Structure 1
Amino acid sequence: MTLRSVDLRKEPVEAVLNRVERSLGVCLDQETVVRKRRSLGARTDRDTWVRIERRGLDRIGVQGGDGTASAEALLGIAKPAWLAGVAWRDETEAVMWRADETELLPGPPVGSAVVAEGPQLSDEWWAALNASLDALAAQHTNRIATPDTETLTQELVTGTVHSAFPGIDTAVTEWRPAHADFNWANITAPEFCVFDWEDWGMAPCGLDAANLWGASLAVPALADRVRSERREDLESRDGKLMTLFVAAKILGPYADPEDPRLVPARKAAEQLLRELQAS
């Protein structure tokens, strides 16, 4: 059965919100409801936040759909605490709905996923980012990252990179835990905190740093700062491969001709290809 393509920004969601309220015993503040393509969020009457996701059963895989809850076991990372959750199967479609209640964020997101202007971030903020990513990479999990709900495998890495750069050796040598959706919309400021953990799991070393670099390319100084702060990740062979993986998503078959990141991504990719082919 082909799963119907759904954009929750356009779908009626009152029944879903009502079910979440009954299941978690909360009242959602309708004025705070945030709609995204495959998720909803709202503040509750007990000063917490509830995130609701719609995910096809074919996108759950062996690890289930409990990323936010399972991330509660991660230590040393600035993230909102998980408090409660509920999941159910849709009555008419091959879809799982899941709602997770967490602490409120300490501040607003830095920006949209991809920023066009450089945010004002303190040295303390960057230190907190580094501490959290280092702590995450040092932990252990059986989960596999699912960026964009796709299970991150060697085959996915190869297919994505070769869609823009055919022939390059894409063999990954080191896998570590990663957030897997590490962009400016999922990070807060002025106090650093990273949220939306539904896709976290094992990934090639450097994925999170490469994602943030790619989300910063429209602001060259910001992209350079990301590279400088996460140099150890991004200068490893796997880090270079993940940077190429991110560049391939920008430059590949679905490239947006209006994307301001095209030129810097292409320039970076050319340099990376030379370095990887020489190694």
Structure 2
Amino acid sequence: MEGGNAYKAELYDHAVGETVSPTAALVTAEPPLTATWWSDLRTALSGLSTVHTDRTAVRQAYLDRAMPNYLAFLGGPVPTVPRAWSTAHGDLHWANLTGPELGILDWEGWGTAPVGYDAALLHAYSVGVPPAADRVRDELSAVLDSESGRFAELVVITELLQSAERGDNVELVPALRQRAEEVWYRMIADGAGRAQ
């Protein structure tokens, strides 16, 4: 093609329903999702986490470099080596989910990430609407309330604080910083409890 760009796209499947939100982050209200939708999401994430792949969604070198810089406001050392990795979608946010039947879109970034990464990402994109964030925490508590899930939250918060510097989802920054403090203090308390 002279002087222009050519693009190729492949259609794997038709998505049903509509995206839950037109934007990655929720900005107005908790979406009206059914118990079945949430159950299907938990099942999908659980199944995905067991898939073996050589693809990478999150790199350890990035964590080593970025986490201490973007979480310095916590006032202590930030762990940079997660205990467990699994396969993740890698971009699980509200504009990549459909309803009323669950559909998960935009798979080009899938690969290995810290355990709980997808749940942590969906939660982080919900913090601007506290009832929605609470719902995500309730529905995905099995992973988010674990040591790995808390680490994944710090990873995701690091990524979103960095992207906010480029102007993305700036409105989430205060809530993300608050959530990072909550997670960090919980990790410290859990560590102190194990040391006794």
| Matching of residue 153 in structure 1 with residue 65 in structure 2 | no
8 A contact 2:27–2:128 mirrored in 1: yes
Greater fraction strand? 1
SS at match of 2:47: helix
Deviations 1:153-196 (A, max 9, x none): 22212323212224212211111110000011111011101021
Structure-1 residue corresponding to 2:186: 275
CA apart distance, 1:276: 2.2
| Matching of residue 165 in structure 1 with residue 75 in structure 2 | no
Q: For residues 47 and 78 of structure 2, what CA distance do their matches in structure 1 show?
A: 31
8 A contact 2:25–2:169 mirrored in 1: no
Q: Which of 24, 32, 42 lines up with 1:130 in the alignment?
A: 42
Q: Which of 9, 14, 17 lines up with 1:107 in the alignment?
A: 17
CA apart distance, 1:100: 1.9
CA apart distance, 1:263: 2.5
8 A contact 1:174–1:238 mirrored in 2: yes
CA apart distance, 1:248: 2.3
Q: Which of 148, 160, 173 lines up with 1:262 in the alignment?
A: 173
CA apart distance, 1:256: 5.0
CA apart distance, 1:255: 7.1
Q: For residues 258 and 172 of structure 1, what CA distance do their matches in structure 2 show?
A: 26
Deviations 1:203-233 (A, max 9, x none): 1101100110111111101111111111121
Corresponding pairs, count: 181
Structure-1 residue corresponding to 2:141: 231
**Which amino acid is the alignment partner of residue 16 of structure 1?**
A
Between structure 1 and structure 2, the one with the greater Rg is: 1
Structure-1 residue corresponding to 2:6: 16
Q: For residues 208 and 231 of structure 1, what CA distance do their matches in structure 2 show?
A: 12
Mark the runs of 5 or more structure 1 residues left unpaired by the alignment: 1-12, 21-98, 146-151
Q: Matches of residues 170-185 of structure 1 in structure 2 within 5 Å? A: 170-185=80-95
CA apart distance, 1:260: 3.0
SS at match of 2:55: coil
Query: RCO greater where, 1 or 2, for CA within 8 Å and sep 6 or more?
Result: 2
RMSD of aligned C-alpha atoms?
2.2
Identity of aligned pairs, percent? 32
Greater fraction helix? 2
Q: Which of 118, 121, 136 lines up with 1:208 in the alignment?
A: 118
Q: Matches of residues 40-59 of structure 1 in structure 2 within 5 Å? A: none
Q: For residues 88 and 114 of structure 2, what CA distance do their matches in structure 1 show?
A: 8
**Which amino acid is the alignment partner of residue 164 of structure 1?**
Y
Q: Which of 48, 51, 57 lines up with 1:139 in the alignment?
A: 51
CA apart distance, 1:138: 2.1
8 A contact 1:212–1:226 mirrored in 2: yes
Deviations 1:11-69 (A, max 9, x none): xx97525xx4xxxxxxxxxxxxxxxxxxxxxxxxxxxxxxxxxxxxxxxxxxxxxxxxx
